[in-house]
Amino acid sequence: MVDSKNSNTVQLHNDDNVLVTLGSLSAGDIASSGPAGTELSDTVPMGHKVACQPIATGQLVLKYGQPIGTASEDIAVGQWVHTHNLVTTARSESYQKATDIPPPPAPITDRTFLGYRREDGKAGTRNYIAVISNVNCSASVASYIAKRFDPQALADYPNVDGVVAFTHGWGCGMKYDGQIHQMLARVLGGIAKHPNIGGYLIVGLGCEQSTIGYLLDKHQLVQIRGNETTPSGPPVLSMQDMGGTLKTVEAGIEKLVELLPRANDVERIEIPASEILLGTECGGSDGNSGITANPALGVASDLLVACGGTSILSETPEIYGAEHLLTRRSRSVEVADKLLDKLKWWEWYAGLFGEVMDSNPTVGNKEGGLTTIVEKSLGAVAKGGSTALMDVYDYAEPVTSAGFVVMDTPGFDPPSVTGMVAGGANVVVFTTGRGSCFGCKPTPSIKVASNSPMYERMVDDMDINAGQVLEGKTVQQMGHEIFDEILAVASGKQTKSEIHGIGDEEFVPWAVGAQL
């Protein structure tokens, strides 16, 4: 617990040789934590680091009790520690695997939410109709169809949250059944079968490589029909077969008019919290993210796992440098090796383009106090709580394990969240220090601010203020508040991004391979 009224810095671990500022400090200020009498020699912004011990060139800089890099020059007590004097350290290639497997948490059996029970047994938290574009060439038509169903057009269907067009930039110029094709089909199939989708229409051009037939067969797609017990093949439209854009739009509108009564024929019922599949994301992180919002979300993740639910940690490039913490708590050596294999792939993949993993953090992350990828990753993995790592999933792969899992996604927020949602996430919690305003239909996104100044400045977009941890609230208390909000939102409470209607443009499938 940190009381910012009486503190201006915090030492996160007794072994740390840096402090983190709780507000902007000036040269001459005396740090309230660490060795007595530590006087700042520089102006240091909020969330940044200041040396509380002399650090020689080449010496490890420690935060969270872990190395986050090495000093590139001698650093005196009281100096600002950032990109000008701290560089990334090479990672160790020696890992402990499944050596510190946590025991299962004490079960929680009495927490529930009000959700939609689907025919396949899954639980939805929202009820959207999807217009899925199979190729970029049909994206405009899919959007035109969806736009015809504004709130006024849906007034007679109060149980339908909206009609969403899922459009993207792929679908041709790729090997049939190649890597790009498979990844795209996983995403589109995952959206079609998502428990937050009450009905869908697929729109293609007709000559694309990503054929509608491939998508239907590969992912065994059937049309969800409200409370009916005999689903059938979904409605599909080919622009070339229909006679062009205008005829396809009108046919699509007719199809959705038929779907709406069936999609509307649902009611929320009480469902165990074990059926929440939580996607966790951090974007626009700052130096406070790993102190407040991310560990608090980790507590909420642990509570969900105790209920029998699932929590997904994503953004593999932002696990880089902290993976040793996850390999130790992997349930098996095989799971630890799956994670390490993903990280090796990312090193190889970045190298293809002359990039290195430390190209992340972003400019905004650095302005917020994060210096190296290791520092960012140590704060990011805190979202995963403290339970055993049960499995590692490919991008947009259906998540079937209960407990804490990892999904291989890029660090860019829209494709990362798109992958988790396609994998089945029915709620997302998105932590931010700089102020990311993110929504992701069909899944609600709860925004958690890492610091109070940003929360107050962007209160119209932030749902929860984890900056209260810097003002006396414990991380545990904050985590319970986030968990309660997850259940409330799963039951229908609108997030700020939903109130603003954000989420139509953030569907961004990730695809890897040659674009031909």
Same domain for 302 and 181? no
Same domain for 385 and 358? yes
pLDDT of residue 224: 46
Residue 100 in any domain: the answer is no
**Whether pLDDT at 319 is above 90:** yes
Residue 473 in any domain: the answer is yes
Mean pLDDT over the full length of the chain: 95
Same domain for 129 and 203? yes
Domain boundary among 50, 74, 90: 90
Residue 259 in any domain: the answer is yes
Same domain for 223 and 240? yes
Domain boundary among 75, 90, 105: 90
Same domain for 261 and 278? no
Which pLDDT band holds residue 231 (cuts at 50, 70, 90)?
A: low
Full-prediction pTM beyond 0.85? yes
Same domain for 264 and 285? no
Residue 109 in any domain: the answer is no
Same domain for 413 and 308? yes
pLDDT of residue 223: 60
The CATH number given to whatever domain includes residue 51 is 2.30.130.110
Residue 95 in any domain: the answer is no
**Whether pLDDT at 4 is above 70:** no
Same domain for 333 and 425? yes
- Distance of alpha carbon 148 from alpha carbon 129, whole angstroms: 13
Residue 19 in any domain: the answer is yes
Which structure tokens are listed for 60?
């490890």
Mean pLDDT of 171-188: 96
Residue 111 in any domain: the answer is no
pLDDT of residue 226: 47
**Helix (H), strand (E), coil (C) string for 283-344:** CCCCCCCCCCHHHHHHHHHHHHHHCCCEEEECCHHHCCCCHHHHHHCECCHHHHHHHHHHHH
Same domain for 400 and 487? yes
Same domain for 317 and 338? yes
**Whether pLDDT at 415 is above 70:** yes
Residue 508 in any domain: the answer is no
Closest CA to 276 of 308, 314, 315, 313: 308
Which pLDDT band holds residue 234 (cuts at 50, 70, 90)?
A: confident
Count of other CB atoms within 10 angstroms of residue 468:
20
pLDDT of residue 92: 74
Domain residues for 170?
116-269
Mean pLDDT of 239-253: 98
The CATH number given to whatever domain includes residue 217 is 3.40.50
Same domain for 438 and 332? yes
Same domain for 284 and 262? no
User: How many separate domains does the chain show?
Assistant: 3
Domain boundary among 244, 269, 294: 269
Mean pLDDT of 486-510: 97
